[in-house]
């Protein structure tokens, strides 16, 4: 059925430079459509682009003259050329913060940067991927947007669907942080709690997609996944452009499904091939929480396959026990000379506080994971402190307040100087 | 003592085009310094600029080539020319969202825009004003930053102080929303709860500033207030630039102390005088919550003075019962042909949900106030729906979750299709 859908929509689909879908495993190509698995080998489908017409300097100028959001990179994304004129939440062009105070504490001398994606409209990197899925959903005439989510994605889908005029129905584990639940619900779509963890939610969505009840639904991270996933490339583009069109030496990226890390690598490779950055080695490091570390465990054991885990960590946005792109992450970490490491929940909280105290950035637990792993990798001599290093913060501390709930008032006083002095504050 | 401080620092102070401090009431001028009240008449001191050297088209080009934050307007702010190179949290250039869905619901045909300041680093407009205060604090050699705050400012000061390397000690009412308390505390500065409301906190800070215990402290909204307040001008600049260097016909602005509305008017007047926008009439409307509506009450009664109230509203970030700039707000609303209106807490919550459902923007209660007031002003025939209208959202819904706490899961199911169908979701 999927193949027929593709055949019937191909001629009318305008997704810019996206030329086809191509299997990451066997290279089999199919026309653009709402499909995600190869009909030959069941490998994941990715977007294949036609960038052949681009002149490097023209492209650079076009990007630099573009809007202060991800659509400045529209020529490199599966979106129509007039994407910026359509209703979307226009994420991206978030701050790349030169983290000199943190660098001093960690002993980094080669330049340390935080790519702070808490500045996106719903305050996580998920806005980047959902913005792509919205354009694909438009192209394939879906009217309902759906997803399985650990929380951030639910909010991003709810917000983007509202802006773009889609109905939404999203599925989350029933026990998420209150802030994420309210934020996902406030946009007025359906929000369904599933009794189980993220992997249960994900399996349920795969079932629903094959059922008549799910017909006409665009699941941003299932049948729209090839389009959706490309949004993470924009992190790579922005980091390089913000560094003055240069590759960083080292990147520290969180791992949930592994898709983000994989697509950041894809984005860097594209910039090299397009001549937008000079080709030189870079290392990608993956970061997990100890309570959900299937990729880190596989990396350290020297395995090529990832053995699923049952997650138990405060870093719920990374709590995917069976990460789809785990094997690709292992390959990229090894090929680039990076590594995969994990930190425990206490180290996550310490890292959140460290980043806040030094740089005034209040990160979600996922940001605590990347900063904590960066510190650990430096201490273990794995990450080179004399090299330019970019650490991703993919979410916002306001969504995981419980992690730092012990933080509060230093003192409570009456509104007079005597009380101020009594409290030892003078 | 204040005058001596000024005299001794004047020669070394470089705050760009800021030439002096000038009394808003009597025009008396004093050199730049950490003073806020006129020594002649006790009126508020404002920044007087020297913009005489600017050529309109050169200035426009310089701004457009600037960074995607408030420092693109450095030539119009009390900051040194190299401000963008100093550690600061670099707020601004937030989205001006064309709110077509909301416009349809409200019957606005002339173009409706939300200026969404939840995109700032600590997710409120306060980052704009604190960023100015940081540069003034540097110029006057303060090492501790302080403030009285209803919550948003506390977070903004905590974050900016951490980034810029200042110690911080901030004062808040002891019963604020948990999210605002945690966010203010996480940056590692001192956070002191005061048993009382914002007006009590503010009075206490004025006491502290005259006491030896407060010596060497920069209170961003007291002794640094003339510099701090200028940050709100950047909202006016951005709105006009984002509209293609045009004045909007109507603006709806929240009123807490009234400073923001006053400075937005100042910013618009500056753009007219500099020739950056065409001079034509605009109307400014002020928005308050019914439970703290001293300016709205005075406006409706035709008074020139504002009678203080004891605040009782969920819009805590606007809960200033004795607004310092109230009389100026009344003057601006009347002079421009605008108005001041208020909505009750239920209308605030309805408006938060309306904005979220139509535009995917999750606003703080203060945003519920401006959207709710916009709706009321249209219904009452006061705001013209055929004119271009800009409504400010100054904060983030994640900080006032309690307001929409009733919002949550639509259903909870087991991870299978039978349970999905039983819940009536198929």
Asked whether residue A306 is assigned to any structural domain, the reply reads yes
DSSP B86: S
Which residues 6+ apart lie within 8 Å of B321 measured at CB? B197, B198, B199, B292, B294, B308, B309, B310, B311
Beta bridge partners of A251: A284, A390
Mean pLDDT of chain A: 94
Domain that holds residue B9: 1-50
Residue in A closest to B91 by C-alpha: A95
pLDDT in tens, A54-97: 999 999 999 999 999 999 999 999 999 999 999 999 999 999 99
Name the nearest CA neighbour of B379 among B106, B101, B105, B100. B106
What pLDDT score does A48 carry? 97
B289-343 pLDDT tens trace? 999 999 999 999 999 999 999 999 999 999 999 999 999 999 999 999 999 999 9
- Mean pLDDT throughout A136-164? 95
The answer to whether the Cβ–Cβ distance between A185 and B420 falls below 8 Å is no
Assembly ipTM: 0.94
Task: Report if residue B57 sits inside a domain.
Answer: no
CB contact under 8 A, A196 and B407: no
Q: What is the mean pLDDT of residues A38-52?
A: 96
Looking at beta carbons, which residues of chain A come within 8 Å of B101? Answer: 87, 162-163, 165
Q: Is the pLDDT at A426 greater than 90, yes or no?
A: no
Q: In a mutagenesis test of the B interface, which of A89, A131, A199, A398 is the best target, namely the one with the most B β-carbons within 10 Å?
A: A398
Distance between CA atoms of residues A265 and A160, nearest Å: 26
Sign, Cα dihedral of B253, B257, B258, B262:
negative
Please give the average per-residue pLDDT across A212-232, as a whole number: 95
A175 or A373: whose pLDDT is higher?
A373
Tell whether B236 and B312 lie within a shared domain. yes
Beta bridge partners, A45, equal A23
A162/B412 CB distance under 8 A: no
> Which of A87, A357, A415 faces B194 most closely, judged by CB atoms?
A415
Can you tell me the mean pLDDT for A301-310? 96
Percent of chain A with pLDDT over 90: 89
Strands of the sheet containing A96-98, edge to edge, are A96-98, A112-116, A389-393, A250-254, A283-289, A339-343
Q: Decide if pLDDT at B18 tops 70.
A: yes
Across the interface, whether the CB atoms of B397 and A185 are under 8 A apart is answered no
The answer to whether residue A13 is domain-embedded is: no
How many Å lie between the alpha carbon of B339 and the closest alpha carbon of chain A?
30
3-state secondary structure of A299: helix
Q: Tell me which residue in B160, B353, B414 faces A360 most closely, judged by beta carbons.
A: B160
A138 part of a folded domain: no
Q: Which pLDDT band holds residue A176 (cuts at 50, 70, 90)?
A: confident
Out of A187, A213, A357, name the one closest to residue B356 (CB): A187
Q: Tell me how far apart the alpha carbons of residues A329 and A162 are, in angstroms, rounded to a whole number.
A: 33
Of A188, A191, A361, the CB nearest to B357: A188
Residues of B within 8 A of A179 (CB-CB) are 179, 398, 401
Chosen for mutation from B186, B198, B354, B423 (greatest number of chain A CBs closer than 10 Å) is B186
B100 and B35 fall within a common domain? no
- For B217, the closest chain A residue by CA position comes to A426
Cα distance between the two ends of chain A: 74
Q: Are B363 and B274 in contact (CB under 8 A)?
A: no
Residue B45 has pLDDT above 90, yes or no: yes
Quick one: closest CA in A to B417, which residue?
A208
Residue B25: inside a domain: yes
Q: How confident is the model at residue B8 (pLDDT cuts 50, 70, 90)?
A: very low
The total of structural domains in chain B comes to 2
Chain B residue nearest residue A406, CA to CA: B182
Residues B4 and B104 in one domain: no
Residue A303 has pLDDT above 90, yes or no: yes
In this structure, are B107 and B29 located in the same domain? no
For the beta sheet containing B18-23, the strands, ordered from the edge strand earlier in sequence to the opposite edge, are B29-30, B18-23, B45-49
Under an 8 A CB cutoff, do A208 and B417 touch? yes
B106 and B24, same structural domain?
no
B295, B329 contact by CB (below 8 A): yes
User: How close, in Å, is residue A148 to chain B by CA atoms?
Assistant: 11
Across the interface, do B183 and A398 touch by the CB < 8 Å criterion?
yes
Among A94, A360, A371, A419, most B C-beta atoms within 10 A, so best to mutate, is A360
Query: Do residues B43 and B101 both lie within one domain?
Result: no
Q: Can you tell me the distance from the alpha carbon of B16 to that of A185, in angstroms, rounded to the nearest whole number?
A: 46
Q: What is the mean pLDDT of residues B96-121?
A: 98
CB contact under 8 A, A181 and B411: no
Question: Looking at residue A387, which CATH number applies to its domain?
Answer: 3.40.50.1100
| pLDDT at residue A3, as a whole number | 35
Contacts of A183 in chain B (CB under 8 A): 362, 397-398
CA distance B19 to chain A (A): 31
Contact A195 B362 (CB under 8 A): no
Residue A186: list chain B partners with CB under 8 A. 352-353, 356, 362, 397, 404, 407
Residues of A in contact with B186 (CB under 8 A): 352-353, 356, 362, 397, 404, 407
- For B167, the 3-state DSSP assignment is strand
Contact between A283 and A338 (Cβ < 8 Å)? yes
Angle at which helix B126-139 crosses helix B152-164, to 10 degrees, equals 40
Q: Are strands B45-49 and B18-23 parallel, antiparallel or unpaired?
A: antiparallel
Q: Is A62 inside any structural domain?
A: no
Interval B179-210: pLDDT, tens: 889 989 999 999 999 999 988 999 999 999 98
pLDDT at B5 over 70: no
Over 90: is that where the pLDDT of B406 sits?
no
Percent of chain B with pLDDT over 70: 97
Based on the number of CB atoms within 10 Å of its own CB, is B413 exposed (0-12), middle (13-18) or buried (19 or more)? buried
A-B contacts (CB, under 8 Å): 232
Establish if A173 belongs to a structural domain.
Answer: no
- End residue of a domain, out of B35, B50, B65: B50
B4 with B102, same domain?
no
What is the structure's pLDDT at B178?
83
pLDDT at A7 > cutoff 70: no
User: Based on the domain organization, do B42 and B112 belong to the same domain?
Assistant: no
Whole-angstrom Cα distance, residue B185 to residue A408?
A: 5
- Token readout for A129 is 């991927």
- Whether residue B416 and residue A204 make contact (CB cut-off 8 A), yes or no, is yes
A412: nearest CB among B195, B396, B423: B195
Distance, CA of A94 to CA of A396 (rounded, Å): 13
Q: pLDDT averaged over chain B?
A: 94
Alpha carbon distances (Å) from A176 to A154, B38, B96:
11, 53, 31
Sign of the C-alpha dihedral, residues B239, B243, B248, B250? negative
Task: Please name the residue of chain A whose CA is at the shortest distance from the CA of residue B69.
Answer: A95
- Spell out which residues of chain A touch residue B416, defining contact as CB-CB under 8 Å: 204, 207
pLDDT at B4 over 50: no
pLDDT tens for residues A93-114?
Answer: 999 999 999 999 999 999 999 9
Clarify whether residues B3 and B118 are in a common domain. no
Which residues of B fall within a CB distance of 8 Å from A358?
A: 162
Which residue out of A168, A415, A416 would a mutagenesis test of the B interface target, given it has the greatest number of B Cβ atoms within 10 Å? Answer: A415
pLDDT at B425: 81
CA distance B227 to B233: 11
Is A340 within a domain?
Answer: yes
Q: Closest Cα to residue A293, out of A334, A339, A338, A331?
A: A339
From the candidates B399, B415, B419, which should be mutated to test the interface with A, based on the most A CB atoms within 10 A?
B415
Which pairing describes strands A112-116 and A389-393: parallel, antiparallel, or unpaired? Answer: parallel
Facing B415 at nearest CB: one of A122, A196, A360: A196
Separation of alpha carbons B283 and B374, rounded Å:
13
Nearest to B186 among A362, A410, A425 (CB): A362
CB < 8 Å to B414, chain A: 194-196
SS3 A49: strand
pLDDT above 70: residue B7? no
């Amino acid at each position: 059925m999927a193949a027929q859908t593709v055949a019937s929509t191909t001629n009318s689909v305008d997704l810019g430079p996206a030329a086809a879908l191509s299997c990451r495993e066997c290279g089999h190509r199919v026309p653009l459509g709402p499909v995600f698995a190869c009909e030959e080998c069941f490998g994941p489908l990715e977007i294949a682009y036609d960038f052949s017409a681009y002149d490097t300097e023209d492209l650079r100028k076009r990007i630099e003259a573009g809007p202060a959001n991800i659509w400045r990179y529209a020529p490199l994304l599966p979106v129509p050329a007039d994407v910026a004129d359509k209703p979307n939440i226009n994420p991206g062009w978030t701050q790349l913060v030169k983290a000199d105070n943190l660098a001093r504490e960690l002993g980094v001398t080669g330049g340390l940067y935080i790519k702070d994606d808490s500045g996106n409209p719903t305050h996580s990197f998920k806005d980047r991927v959902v913005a792509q899925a919205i354009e694909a959903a438009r192209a394939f005439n879906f009217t309902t947007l759906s997803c399985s989510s650990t929380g951030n994605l639910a909010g991003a889908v709810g917000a983007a669907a509202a802006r773009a005029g889609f109905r939404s129905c999203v599925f989350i584990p029933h026990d998420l942080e209150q802030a994420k639940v309210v934020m996902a619900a406030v946009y007025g779509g359906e929000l369904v709690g599933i009794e189980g963890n993220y992997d249960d939610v994900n399996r349920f969505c795969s079932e629903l997609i094959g059922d008549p009840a799910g017909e006409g639904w665009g699941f941003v991270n299932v049948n729209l996944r090839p389009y959706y996933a490309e949004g993470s490339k924009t992190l790579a583009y922005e980091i390089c452009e913000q560094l003055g069109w240069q590759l960083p030496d080292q990147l520290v990226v969180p791992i949930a499904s592994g898709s983000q890390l994989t697509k950041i690598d894809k984005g860097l490779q594209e910039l090299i091939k397009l001549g937008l950055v000079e080709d030189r080695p870079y290392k990608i490091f993956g970061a997990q929480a100890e309570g959900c570390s299937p990729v880190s465990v596989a990396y350290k054991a020297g395995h090529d396959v990832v053995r699923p885990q049952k997650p138990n960590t405060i870093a719920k946005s990374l709590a995917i026990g069976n990460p789809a792109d785990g094997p690709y992450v292992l390959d990229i970490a090894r090929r680039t000379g990076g590594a995969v490491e994990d930190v425990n929940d206490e180290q996550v909280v310490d890292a959140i506080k460290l980043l806040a105290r030094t740089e005034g950035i209040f990160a979600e637990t996922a940001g605590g994971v990347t900063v904590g792993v960066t510190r650990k990798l430096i201490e273990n001599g794995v990450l080179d402190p004399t090299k330019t290093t970019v650490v991703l913060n993919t979410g916002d501390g306001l969504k995981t307040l419980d992690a730092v709930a012990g933080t509060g008032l230093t003192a409570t006083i009456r509104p007079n100087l005597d009380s101020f002095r009594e409290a030892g504050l003078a």
